[in-house]
Amino acid sequence: LAFVIKILQAFTIACLSMINPSFAYTSDRHFHRFLDTEAVQEVLKRLEKLSGFIPRLLNIIQKHAILPPDGEAALLDEQQGLANSEGLQPNRERDEDTELARSGIGLLISVVISKQDNLLQELYSYKNVIIDIVLLSNRLQVRREICSAIYHLCSTISSLSHEEASPSMFFLEALLEQLPLSSTNSRINQEWEQYFELVQLLVRDACQLKLFPEQRLLHLRKSLLYALLDEPQPPSLQTKSEPEPPSLLPEKLLQGWLILLHTLVRHSRLVSDESFTKDQTRLVEHLYNRYLFPESLRVEAPKSFEASPGSTVVIFGPSRSAAFELLLAIVEDSPTNHAKLMSLIDSNLFPPFSSQLPAWEQQPLLEKAGTAAGYVGLKNLGCICYMNSILQQFFMMPPLRNKLLSLECDKTGTGDTGVLVELQRLMGHLACSEAPYYDMNGLCSSWRDQNGNPLNISVQQDADEFFLSLIDRVESCLKGTPQASLFVDSISVRVGRELVCRNTKCNHCSSAETLEYRLSVELADKRSLHEALGQFIQGETIDDYRCEMCTLKGGVQRFYLNSLSQSLFIHLKRFELDFTGHDALEVSHMKINQYFEFPTTIDMKPYTREFIQHDPKDTERSDSYYKYDLVGVVVHQGTADAGHYYSFIKERDLVPQSGNWFRFDDTVVSFFDPKDLREECFGGEFSNTMMEAGSRSTRLKNVYILVYERADSNISSEPQQHSQLQSQSPPLPLPQLGRENRFQLLVPELLREVSSENARLLFDRLIFQPEHFHFMYEFIKHLPRSYDDIRGPELEPIAKLAFRFLIEMLMRRRDQILFNSWALLLKTIFKNCVPACKWLLELFLNDHKEWLQYLLINCSDEYVRVGFAELLVEVIRTYSPHEHKYFHNSYSPELIVGWPHPSYEPNLSSFDAKYYNEDYSYSTYEIQKEEPTPFVDENSPKALTFLLLRHLMTIMETVRPAWRRFQQYFWVFREFLCLGTEHRRFLVKQGIVALLVDFYMGDCSPYKTTSANRVRLGGDPSPDLYHFMFALSYAVRSAATDGSIKTKENPPRSLDSGSLPCLDRVSMFLLF
């Protein structure tokens, strides 16, 4: 059947290609080269005479396109998609069924197009079957095929000017009858994307061809608008009983509403409706505050949107892009809506202006925890991987983690109490944070040694020593509390020791018991864990032992296990002291890298007291008590002197357990295949293909600590009868993996902290998404069409918003292409808005001078310095012509405090450094004046551009340490000198020549005011002085020299005509 339909489809399409070469439904149209016209006509006549051709074909398509509602289709689609992505062989039967349905759809549409007059009306009578395939098909490829076929049918017959009823409007009305205005429409499955795409295309064409009745269009627009506003449909719009939309909408449904309403707004602007225009303003605020940037994410201490599902609804992906596109369409020709949206952006995205530098160098954490493995990593601040590997093992133990999270800690405590508080914070963030990793600063800051010294994060330490130290610190904090036996109940092992007198007549036996938190076994000359544990219980002779009964020396000592807890840590003594050095006093550490294997399941009974002593009384414990599964491995990679720790851990949160393994390597958490444990953990030697044939190398990565957990979690550890520490805290239930369940375990203060951080992280991700940047660019670039003069004051708030977005958002994104496009857009905006230029100049001259220095000099990204310098020069160039009336007030001799009056000639031969302070300010001379206060002193210039350049001159010495990045700083001077005569005259009279030459001479300058050496300009590479020399050249060529004054003629290469300002003696001396 599939073969017949495929052949018929190819033949029909080939026939259509001969009749109408523009027909291009599929690529099979080249088949027509093998046919002739008579054959084509004969086939078409036979198809026309077939009785019930369309219903029979639709029945076949429907049968193979719609599966029973048991989820089988969705599962097979998913499996087939996974197989295709991995290059595997897809399900052949499934593929044949899908192809049969697709070929049938292609044949149906081809035949209808070929014989429109006779078959189109018959096709109309089966519209319900076609709509069922669109809405109810479980197969993505079939839904795509049927929607594509319907649209092709509508566009093809419409282009042929068919005389019958337009198929576009027929199918559009049929589809709109099924338009869901709430998520309770049970007729439509979860995949609505193809349905809305088809409706959107048909609506667009109907609007362009003016086929849509005006009242029907208004009805549809209002229906969608009220659906998005979460408001019930007015009685005038209700066509059937529809329940009110729920507070949570399926994303595909919301996406479809947004796309469809966007199409209606774009293509029906000529259809005016006053009430709809007012509702659009409400929709702008609703979309922005409800779905794009929820208000709950913008408050200082937001409620947990994880702990309260439904309190915060945020859309991502295509739905978010559709919402942005709808907002742009709404505000495009409406100044009111444009102003409303701009107010929302300005008040919600940006904090109040502060004089402090923003966190420009701090990139946002855009990666979400759970995108790959689903767990949060730990940041390695230096060499603290030994801490991270152990802490992740503790976190992945649900009972221990849950008890730590539920502790009531003293937040004001110091010392070990501070360690416990930070440990609880760490567990809370690992459990519920949305960040990709947790910063270890808090725990490292609270960790002190015995002398009170802070932890040295640059020194590598032993993971086993940290394991014991952490337990000791936590237990010291919990001593005397109900949680005192936290680790005792979770991971402790009671080890018995016996000393037996070797006198067979005496045979006295003394025993003792110790509490251990891990078994430490010998590794040397052992090839497996069973061998190491066997030696642990094996007796050894103790020659120094003296029997307390018979007083004879000598005895046999042996160990065994008295009791086991739920989890078991086994430490391998991999590091030993090496005494084989050349110097007898020299002792070094050595790492044992020999092959050592361990099982994934282990029976601990052979190493217990009841097994060794064959005590028939100890039969209370079942065999399941001793059965343990491997759940964690701490690996050390490297040598005894330098290495790295990381962990492999099995997931135990899910019930039933998933069996997934993960690799926790500091900030990176990834999936791990347990089949690779041998290669990753057993050590030994391997064949090195990079070296000579037959050569072998030693694996430097091998197991250091093993973590086992009792296979049957329902068997609890026996009460510690020999211990005075009894657990008084009831066991906590094992939570599911979902973070919403883990939130319930957090103490209130930690809950608020984690929730607030999650809200900030989510808000950052919403801001720094590419869709948001594209939306902001289009919003700022395209003003409402009804603005008459874009150079008027209406542009000023746009310029302010664009500048703040560039400085506070885009710079942190560290995207050069994006930043450059925005910088170019800002130059255009400021060029057309003089008030915005004045605002920016005043911003930098008042409370944000540090911004100016950072953006021009200190920023490490060259493209940022270049873009900002170009913007600043454009602002100066635009605003400077409006300051001509202030130019005559701009030549005070004390404008730059520190450079003498041009007419004054100091005695350079009797130069005394006491007349100068460190910031090049004259402290005494013939003129005694207080340093002028900017914007207040009567001698201050009135021109903002002159004020800005004067400020840049005062910070020139601070530019010296940044000699690799000062090109843009001097480029601003160069461009300012190129603006005109008045600008050059101003800088010359401010002593720019002396400043530049003194800057260049460094320690060789006679105006060096301190004994300390100045930062040397140059090194590797040498400094780029092109813009510096250009500015110096322009300044010198803008002034008169002694020779030109005597001859009363300007220098030959002078830039200006007429009278020139004279170079002062300081500048002349430094120049020559």
Q: Would you state the pLDDT for residue 477? A: 87
Long-range contacts of 545-551 (CB under 8 A, 24+ apart): 545/499, 545/501, 547/501, 547/503, 547/506, 547/508, 548/508, 548/510, 549/501, 549/506, 549/508, 550/501, 550/503, 550/505, 550/506, 550/508
Number of H helices, E strands in the chain: 40, 18
The Cβ of residue 404 has, within 10 Å, a number of other Cβ atoms equal to 24
3-state secondary structure (DSSP) of residue 643 = strand
Q: Would you state the pLDDT for residue 567? A: 92
Q: Would you state the pLDDT for residue 390? A: 95
Query: Model confidence at 764, in pLDDT bands (50, 70, 90)?
Result: confident
How far apart (Å, rounded) are the C-alpha atoms in residues 727 and 731? 10
pLDDT in tens, 427-470: 999 988 888 899 999 999 889 887 788 889 988 899 999 999 99
3-state secondary structure (DSSP) of residue 546 = strand
Rg, C-alpha atoms of the chain: 40
How far apart (Å, rounded) are the C-alpha atoms in residues 963 and 166? 72
Mean pLDDT, all residues of the chain: 76
Q: Would you state the pLDDT for residue 827? A: 92
Q: Are 706 and 572 in contact (CB under 8 A)?
A: yes
Q: Extract the tokens encoding 566.
A: 């739920």
- Check whether 948 has a pLDDT greater than 80: yes
**440: part of which helix (H) or strand (E)?**
none
Least confident of 123-127, 709-713, 1042-1046: 1042-1046
Least confident of 261-265, 499-503, 603-607: 499-503
Q: Extract the tokens encoding 69.
A: 């509602």
pLDDT in tens, 960-1013: 888 888 999 999 999 999 888 888 888 888 888 888 888 888 888 776 666 667
Q: Would you state the pLDDT for residue 67? A: 67
pLDDT in tens, 767-817: 888 899 999 999 988 876 544 445 556 788 899 999 989 888 888 888 889
Query: Model confidence at 654, in pLDDT bands (50, 70, 90)?
Result: low
Nearest to 253 by CA among 307, 291, 308: 291
What dihedral angle (degrees, nearest 10) is formed by the CA atoms of 848, 850, 856, 857?
A: 180
State the average pLDDT over residues 1023-1042.
85
Q: Would you state the pLDDT for residue 462? A: 92
Nearest to 195 by CA among 152, 241, 253: 253
Contact residues for 627 (Cβ-Cβ < 8 A; gap 6+): 601, 602, 603, 710, 711, 712
pLDDT in tens, 155-203: 887 654 444 567 888 888 899 888 888 766 545 555 678 889 999 999 9
Long-range contacts of 122-130 (CB under 8 A, 24+ apart): 122/54, 123/54, 124/165, 124/170, 126/54, 126/55, 126/58, 127/170, 127/171, 127/174, 129/58, 129/62, 130/58, 130/171, 130/174
State the average pLDDT over residues 339-368.
70
Q: Is the peptide bond before 656 cis (omega within 30 degrees of 0)?
A: yes
945/619: higher pLDDT: 945
Q: Are 959 and 1015 in contact (CB under 8 A)?
A: no
82/523: higher pLDDT: 523
Residue ranges in 301-415 assigned as alpha helix (H) = 317-331, 335-349, 385-395, 398-405
Parallel, antiparallel or unpaired: strands 696-698 and 685-687: antiparallel
- Check whether 391 has a pLDDT greater than 60: yes
State the average pLDDT over residues 697-713.
89
Contact residues for 921 (Cβ-Cβ < 8 A; gap 6+): 897, 898, 931
Q: Is the peptide bond before 770 cis (omega within 30 degrees of 0)?
A: no
Give the percent of the chain with pLDDT over 70.
69
How far apart (Å, rounded) are the C-alpha atoms in residues 103 and 950? 77
553/999: higher pLDDT: 999
418/892: higher pLDDT: 418
Nearest to 52 by CA among 138, 111, 96: 111
Q: Please, what is the Cα angle at 92 between 88 and 98, to 5 degrees?
A: 115
Q: Extract the tokens encoding 507.
A: 């045979």
State the average pLDDT over residues 825-849.
89
pLDDT in tens, 661-687: 999 999 999 999 999 999 999 988 877
- Check whether 70 has a pLDDT greater than 70: no
- Check whether 303 has a pLDDT greater than 70: no
- Check whether 253 has a pLDDT greater than 50: yes
State the average pLDDT over residues 359-380.
68
Q: Give the chain's end-to-end CA distance (angstroms, integer).
A: 98
